A and B are shown apart, each in its own frame.
Chain A
Amino acid sequence: MNSPVICPRCAFETVDKLATSPVPGVWDVLQCGQCLYTWRTIEPARRTQRDAYPEQFRMTLADIENAIEVPAVPPLRTTG
């Protein structure tokens, strides 16, 4: 391929292949190693290309690290 693949959502540079099309060579399903964004290579550019990825859906490392937990992990209950 041409340019290295980066995550359209958070621009992370480690992208893994989760699946490939049963009909060989049609598409792959890729996943970002940082934000877990998952996409199929033949989806529209607005979902697959960093340049075209909408501003409001972009995510930064800080967004991920500061995201609230739902539900919160409860305190460990130790019984004696």
Chain B
Amino acid sequence: MAYDDLRSFLATLEKEGQLLRITEEVLPEPDLAAAANATGRIGENAPALYFDNVTGFTDARIAMNVHGSWANHALALGLPKNTPVKEQVETFAARWDAFPVAPERREDAPWRENTQEGPDVDLFSMLPLFRLNDGDGGFYLDKAAVVSRDPEDPDDFGKQNVGTYRIQVIGADRLAFQPVPMHDIAQHLRKAEEKGEDLPIAITLGNDPVITVVAGMPMAYDQSEYEMAGALRGAPAPIATAPLTGFDVPWGSEVVIEGVIESRTRQIEGPFGEFTGHYSGGRRMPVIRVDRVSYRTDPVFESLYLGMPWTEVDYLVGPNTCVPLLKQLRAEFPEVQAVNAMYTHGLMVIISTAKRYGGFAKAVGMRAMTTPHGLGYVAQVILVDEDVDPFNLPQVLWSMSAKVNPKDDVVIIPNLSVLELAPAAQPAGITSKMIIDATTPVSPDVRGNFSTPAKDLPETKEWAAKLQKLIASRG
């Protein structure tokens, strides 16, 4: 089942028991963030939260933790809510093969109902903005799908980017904006700034759940997120034309903010409690002038809490980071079985692979670091054998404890690229990277004493299925 907007997905979450309405009056700070923070501490099937009674506001509607559990992530993809994680990632990878699915353009976007323009733009009057973490520099839009085009190739639909970036509200019509240099919009901005031109931008809030997934997904520069959304939904993604920029934006958004990134301007932004579990910022970032806002009547403001993992962003971005790495590695190394890139957006990655010959696993690890996503992330790779499940952390740690001879199996490469947010980088943007080869050495790499492994009994798989069935039927 494909959802065309956030509201229809919220209705499904509620029907499935995965949406909690908080009806008591809450403070904008610290209650909203603290409640969402708590969803990451009460187990992995926590519900989405919906607030509409917030101190000082008359008609705030705030949705949080919408993707913040494995149950909600499964429902976003139209899967049963109890689908195991490994199966969610496998389904995601299988649907990828339908890419590209052309989007469907619609004219009657509900966000056409209301408009603010020019001097009348006032984000505070339209949205119940609030702070997340104590040390944040201000109030953030942190779950938007941001649309921009390549200034040198504006008509190329594939090079139009849809991404998620952190955006600080620094005025009624001004935003500060963080494009990490590895991300597509930073390339757009660089091209515009080299010519001294502003970069037009459309920021869409409150999107259907799959648009949010693809906006946080590390895709190739010329691949369209809308065409990927169609593949993942199993139905064309509905899009509409934004009135000021002419950009393609989601049909179902609650709010569409349009304006420009002002050329060659930087202003203090942040800090912001990031997905790394650390604050970053207090840096000079680009700024956006908002020229037009379009919004649905009674818009729902969707936001997410992030900070020390696991939080919503880990459920949201974890699976969609695994799949591109899996596909890109398999393209050259079909021996790769599975990729777990769910820890801190893939700063650490666990890969299970068969070995073509001795030394092969280390090559797979190096390739992971040179994928487009790996250039900015993937600072540590753990390689495990083909029969180890990289999502099963006890099995991964067993591999490390039993198979790793540190002198031969730990490789450290100095001074490689990483995103500036990585807390361990020194200087920001530069880090050493490490490969831990926890696979069994194969010829001609003849080391260790691995000739007599104890394997699962042949009947174990069958019994696992039987037991799961018995447990499920018990209700």
Chain A residues within 8 Å of B, Cβ to Cβ: 9, 18-19, 21-23, 26-27, 29, 31, 35-40, 42-44, 46-47, 54, 56-57, 59, 63-64, 67-71, 73-77
| A22 lies within 8 A of B57 (CB) | yes
- Residues A35 and B268 in contact in the complex (CB < 8 Å), given A22-B57, A27-B56, A67-B283: yes
Quick check: B28 and A40 within 8 Å, CB to CB?
yes
Which of B176, B264, B268, B428 counts the most chain A CB atoms within 10 A? B268
The B417-449 residues at the A interface (CB cut-off 8 A) are 420, 428
Question: Which of A22, A27, A38, A71 touches B137 (beta carbons < 8 Å)?
Answer: A38
Q: How far is the CA of A46 from the CA of B29 in the complex (A)?
A: 12
With beta carbons under 8 angstroms apart, the residue of B30, B129, B176, B186 that contacts A36 is: B176
- What are 29 A-B interface contacts by the 8 Å CB criterion? A9-B137, A19-B122, A19-B124, A19-B125, A19-B129, A22-B56, A22-B57, A22-B59, A23-B56, A27-B56, A29-B129, A31-B170, A31-B171, A36-B138, A36-B176, A36-B269, A38-B131, A38-B137, A44-B30, A54-B134, A54-B135, A57-B135, A63-B282, A67-B284, A70-B181, A70-B420, A71-B180, A74-B190, A75-B194
A69 and B267 alpha carbons, distance in the complex (Å): 8
Instruction: Name the residue of chain B whose CB is nearest to the CB of A24.
Output: B56
Asked if B172 and A19 make an inter-chain contact with CB atoms under 8 angstroms apart, the answer reads: yes
Interface centre among A47, A56, A75 (most CB of B within 10 A): A47
- B124 touching A18 by the CB < 8 A rule? yes
Question: Are A42 and B135 closer than 8 Å at their CB atoms?
Answer: no
| Residue pair B131, A69 in contact (C-beta under 8 Å) | no
Asked if B364 is at the interface of the complex by the 8 Å CB criterion, the answer is no
Query: B163-185 CB contact bits vs A (8 Å, 1 = yes)?
Result: 00000111110001011110000
> A71, B179: Cβ atoms under 8 Å?
yes
Chain A nearest Cβ from B264, distance in angstroms: 5
B284 touches A76 (CB 8 A): no
Contact of B131 among A36, A43, A67, A68 (CB under 8 A): A43
Q: Which residue of A lies closest to B192 (CB)?
A: A74
Residue of B whose beta carbon sits closest to that of A25: B56
Report the bound CA distance from A56 to B137 in whole Å.
13
Tell me the nearest residue of chain A to B125, going by C-beta: A19
- Does chain A have a CB within 8 A of B291? no
Q: Smallest CB–CB gap between A18 and chain B, Å?
A: 6
Known contacts A38-B139, A67-B282, A23 near B58 by CB under 8 Å: yes
Cβ-based interface call for B193 (8 A) = yes
- Which of B196, B266, B271 counts the most chain A CB atoms within 10 A? B266
